[in-house]
Amino acid sequence: MSSAPDLIDRLALHRTVGAAPREELEWIASRGILRQMQPGQVLTAKGTRPEGLVVLLSGSLSMSVNRGAGPRKVMEWRAGDVSGVLPYSRVNAPPGDSMAQELSEILLLPAEHIRDMAKHCPELTAILVHAMIDRARAFTSSDLHDEKMVSLGKLSAGLAHELNNPASAIERSAALLEERLIESERATRALNAFQLTEAQLAAVQAVGKVCMAVQALGVRSPLEQADREDAIADWLAGRGINVDIAESLADTAVTFDALDTLAQAIDRPALDAVLRWGASQCAVRSLTSEIQDAAMRISGLVTAVKGFTYMDQAMVAGPVDLIKGLNNTITVLGAKARAKSVTILVNAEPGLPRARGFAGELNQIWANLIDNALDALPAAGRIEITAKRERDQAVVCVIDNGPGIPPEIRERIFDPFFTTKPIGQGTGLGLDIVRRLVRHNDGEISVDSQPGRTQFRVALAFAETGAPGDSQ
């Protein structure tokens, strides 16, 4: 161990505390405890209060945090750094384990001397306050990155699910369309073999209009569809027509009255050819419509994502259409809501004027609040989002019917690093970020919670124009 004079000389050469007057270094040297740390030895375990101020004289320390994917080093201290309890720090317990990375030597000033140090060592205290600010900045930067990665992962997973459904529909419908086109060509050639009169052609066109008047596919239940196929098969069999087209006809909106009218105008075998041609034409039209709908769904998702992120606009404050932003956010989070069978309702005041703020930041607020509500809700839960005018403010409320927030933690939910989620499911920064973003947009946020009803309320100023419509 070092002698007292030698220790003071080492402190004077220390990168952080060395700038303090020698008498202040003598003060901490006389009250500090020299300690050697073996590689892997834990200095402070996660969730426990540090013993005091740590002045690292040699070696290195690190802090690792486990968010579900194994420990990840988020902080590192080398000889010349300080750690542990710093003056005026409000951190009671670190979010991870602090341990030696190699053989290290520290000077530990017990926590009971920290308050006296501020009185007797003002210059050293000022130095340590600056070190605390740098440490907080490093912690925040690391955890903000983690929070962004968690949010990005959720967003990516949701979008992948959202895009996969219409993309799969397009792939499936395109494959079937090729088969139906071949059938349609075959049916057209067969129909052309018959010399139909003008009256018969008019009957065919009338049936075609009935078939395409309503998109029946997906409207009927499986049982209703099966009953309809059986009924059409019976109708076909009664007229000596092969029942293999019953399924195709059942997918259309053709009525039995229309079929009866057609049967009166056209005899078999021409009737068989007409029905096969009509079924194939309806199938082609239906598949084409499905592909178009799926493509429009993908286009709508892309538009929603662009609106959600505002990646094609400058990050400047301006008039923001809150309703559009809320709808875009719900679209982005739609897959997660459907996976839990959660109903999301939006009740917006008609003609609500635009709010003033940063469009991308406001959407991030809605995303965090809605995502938190989804996490809190059981299956088949309910989220209600209201947007209305209250005096001179636009007020958005996100309300869920989940279990509520216990009173003992309600005051802490906006604190950085505070989370009730299991390891790997949250950084404890989501609501802290929400509060900071609300303040950056000159707004106010509050929470009211009880079992069965939790409400987050965000109040924003109106844009100067006060006109309803899209964001600029």
**393 beta partners:** 390, 461
Residue 107 confidence class, pLDDT cut points 50, 70, 90: very high
Instruction: Please tell me whether residues 346 and 248 are part of one structural domain.
Output: no
Is residue 128 one of the residues assigned to a domain? no
β-pairing verdict for 104-110 and 343-348: unpaired
Instruction: Please tell me whether residues 369 and 285 are part of one structural domain.
Output: no
pTM value is 0.47
* Model confidence pLDDT, tens digit, residues 276-325: 888 888 788 878 877 887 787 777 667 666 655 554 454 567 899 999 88
Residue among 259, 252, 159 nearest 204 (CA)? 259
* Model confidence pLDDT, tens digit, residues 414-453: 765 455 554 344 434 468 878 888 998 999 999 999 999 9
Token digits for 257?
């009255």
Structural domain of 325: 313-461
Is residue 163 one of the residues assigned to a domain? yes
Q: Are 374 and 342 in contact (CB under 8 A)?
A: yes
Residue among 366, 390, 376 nearest 456 (CA)? 366
374-397: average pLDDT: 93
Instruction: Please tell me whether residues 287 and 317 are part of one structural domain.
Output: no
Cα–Cα distance for residue pair 442/438, rounded to 1 Å:
6
* Model confidence pLDDT, tens digit, residues 186-201: 888 888 888 888 888 8
Q: Are 118 and 111 in contact (CB under 8 A)?
A: no
Burial category of 367 from C-beta neighbours within 10 Å (exposed 0-12, middle 13-18, buried 19 and up):
buried
Report the chain's mean pLDDT, rounded to a whole number.
81
* Model confidence pLDDT, tens digit, residues 248-258: 888 777 888 88
Residue among 448, 463, 441 nearest 363 (CA)? 441
Q: Output the domain CATH number for residue 399.
A: 3.30.565.10
Share of the chain above pLDDT 90, in %: 33
Q: Scanning the structure block, which residue is given the tokens 């690190």?
A: 62
Instruction: Please tell me whether residues 237 and 331 are part of one structural domain.
Output: no
Residue 203 confidence class, pLDDT cut points 50, 70, 90: confident
Instruction: Please tell me whether residues 31 and 165 are part of one structural domain.
Output: no
Cα–Cα distance for residue pair 451/447, rounded to 1 Å:
13
Helices (H), 51-121: 114-120
Share of the chain above pLDDT 70, in %: 80
Q: Are 31 and 109 in contact (CB under 8 A)?
A: yes
Instruction: Please tell me whether residues 376 and 332 are part of one structural domain.
Output: yes
* Model confidence pLDDT, tens digit, residues 15-52: 999 999 999 999 999 999 999 999 999 998 887 888 99
Q: Which residue has the higher pLDDT, 4 or 219?
A: 4
Q: Does 59 score more than 90 pLDDT?
A: yes
